[in-house]
């Protein structure tokens, strides 16, 4: 007689319950979708993920090679970042924003700003706390809150309000339970920008309600048409309640290097450093050396990349408007945020573009409920792939869908 295997009737799940609340990561899902179509032999034009197509500049790579050959960089790095790197960040902030930082107490090296953003929730919120997050917004804001046992509360961002949150419309009961306010300008995915006046309003609101502000400024250097992105630390006394995240990924084409930093309130920097000290061993020293070179000598790189993005942005916006969209050229980021044609939601339109033309874009709903009805296009593909996408969009004859909207 075969021995029957017995199972426990109430066997516990082997995974944490918090994972049940975390949706599939948007960009990982887009990668999977792209891979499936490539397996079918489809020539996919991927305009979904913001990963600069140009290589990291040679002067940064050469500095890294030099540091890599130095055995002193092969050991564990300082947990909070090398003092030289933190000084370089401080010099950059004073030159760029007029903000003075104490490198030892107000700067922290990160393994990319995404890592610091995710860990900030563990550093600042308790279980049950409410976190105010932009919607649509970078998915890590929601997921980071959930992983820390907090409750993300979406602040709807609407085009009619220039994608800025209306603080006065947030329920007072929600505000009383909130601990953390996340803001991101220039905005991913909406491309919206904010000026110092709005940041002053945000600081005033946070101080009034005893909130910590985490300001994601990863796109501060990717700006156009005379717009210059501010730092929230430029606001008077913002250091009392704010910490800012920034990255070397976007301006210097260093996405794969995973190097970013947090700056601001020294108690918050210390708290975030405590989390990091216990879960990672810091950024490889040779990468920090390369980062110093980028921060000190990379202004020309940024200018060159901006001119490339402006050319691509203008080309894509022109074509979309010829088809039937009514878009204004974004003043920042390397994305275009556009409404879907009538008769589609963001997912169905993204699927339509992929199925019918092999163009991969990001559906807006992947960034939050308020992102429904929009899609995001990245212009970090080579010029020839942008042109290929333009040809395919024309062949789809999408203009007829906009003609239907007029009737």
Q: CB neighbours of 248 closer than 8 A, spacing ≥ 6?
A: 254, 257, 259, 260, 291, 294, 295
If you count them, how many residues does the chain have?
407
CATH class, domain 18-55+300-401, is: alpha beta
Q: Are 231 and 106 in contact (CB under 8 A)?
A: no
Q: What is the DSSP string of 134-182?
A: EES--THHHHHHHHTT-EEEEEE--GGGTT---GGGS-HHHHHHEEEEE
The pLDDT, as a whole number, for residue 4 is 46
Measured at the CA of 278, the angle between CA 272 and CA 284, to 5 degrees, comes to 85
Give the span between the Cα atoms of 307 and 313, in whole angstroms. 10
Q: Which of 198, 200, 190, 177 is nearest to 130 (CA)?
A: 177
Give the span between the Cα atoms of 238 and 196, in whole angstroms. 12
- Structure-block tokens of residue 134: 């932009």
Burial classification of residue 97, based on how many CB atoms lie within 10 Å of its CB (0-12 exposed, 13-18 middle, 19 or more buried): buried
Which CATH architecture does the domain made up of 58-297 adopt?
3-Layer(aba) Sandwich (3.40)
Per-residue pLDDT of the chain (407 residues), as tens digits, is 445 445 455 666 788 888 888 877 766 777 787 788 777 888 899 999 999 999 999 999 999 999 999 999 999 999 999 999 999 999 999 999 999 999 999 999 999 999 999 999 999 999 999 999 999 999 999 999 999 999 999 999 999 999 999 999 999 999 999 999 999 999 999 999 999 999 999 999 999 999 999 999 999 999 999 999 999 999 999 999 999 999 999 999 999 999 999 999 999 999 999 999 999 999 999 999 999 999 999 999 999 999 999 999 999 999 999 999 999 999 999 999 999 999 999 999 999 999 999 999 999 999 999 999 999 999 999 999 999 999 999 899 888 777 655 54
Q: Which of 183, 174, 179, 218 is nearest to 201 (CA)?
A: 183
The pLDDT, as a whole number, for residue 308 is 98
Total-model pTM? 0.93
Going from N- to C-terminal start, the domains of the chain cover 18-55+300-401, 58-297
């Amino acid at each position: 007689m075969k021995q029957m295997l017995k199972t426990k009737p109430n066997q516990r799940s082997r995974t944490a319950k918090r994972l049940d609340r975390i949706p599939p990561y948007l960009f990982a899902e887009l990668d999977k979708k792209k891979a499936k179509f490539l397996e079918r032999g489809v020539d996919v034009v991927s305009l979904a993920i913001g990963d600069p197509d140009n290589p990291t500049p040679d002067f940064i790579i050469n500095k890294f090679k030099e540091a890599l050959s130095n055995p002193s960089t092969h050991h564990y790095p300082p947990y909070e970042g090398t003092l030289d790197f933190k000084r370089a960040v401080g010099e950059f902030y004073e030159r760029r924003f007029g903000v003075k930082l104490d490198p030892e107490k107000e700067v922290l090296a990160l393994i990319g700003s995404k890592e610091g953003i995710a860990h900030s929730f563990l550093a600042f919120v308790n279980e049950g706390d409410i976190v105010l997050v932009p919607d649509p917004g970078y998915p890590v804001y929601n997921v980071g809150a959930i992983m820390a046992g907090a409750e993300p509360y979406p602040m709807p961002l609407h085009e009619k309000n220039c994608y800025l949150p209306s603080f006065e419309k947030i329920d007072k009961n929600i505000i009383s339970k909130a601990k953390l306010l996340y803001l991101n300008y220039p905005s991913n995915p909406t491309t919206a920008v904010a000026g110092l006046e709005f940041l002053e309003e945000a600081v005033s609101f946070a101080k009034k309600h005893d909130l910590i502000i985490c300001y994601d400024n990863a796109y501060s250097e990717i700006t156009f048409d005379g717009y210059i992105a501010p730092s929230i630390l430029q606001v008077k006394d913002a250091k009392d309640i704010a910490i800012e995240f920034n990255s070397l990924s976007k301006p210097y084409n260093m996405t794969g290097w995973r190097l970013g930093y947090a700056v601001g309130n020294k108690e918050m920097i210390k708290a975030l450093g405590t989390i990091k000290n216990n879960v990672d061993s810091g950024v490889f020293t040779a990468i920090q050396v390369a980062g110093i070179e980028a921060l000190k000598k990379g202004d020309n790189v940024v200018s060159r990349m901006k001119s490339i993005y402006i050319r691509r942005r203008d080309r894509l916006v022109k074509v979309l408007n010829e088809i039937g969209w009514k878009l204004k050229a974004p003043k920042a980021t390397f994305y275009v945020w556009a409404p879907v044609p009538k008769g589609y939601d963001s997912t169905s339109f993204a699927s339509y573009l992929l199925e019918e033309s092999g163009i991969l874009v990001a559906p807006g709903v992947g960034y939050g409920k308020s992102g429904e009805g929009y899609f995001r296009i990245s212009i970090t593909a080579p010029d020839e792939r942008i042109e290929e996408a333009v040809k395919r969009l024309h062949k789809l004859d999408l203009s007829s869908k906009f003609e239907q909207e007029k009737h």
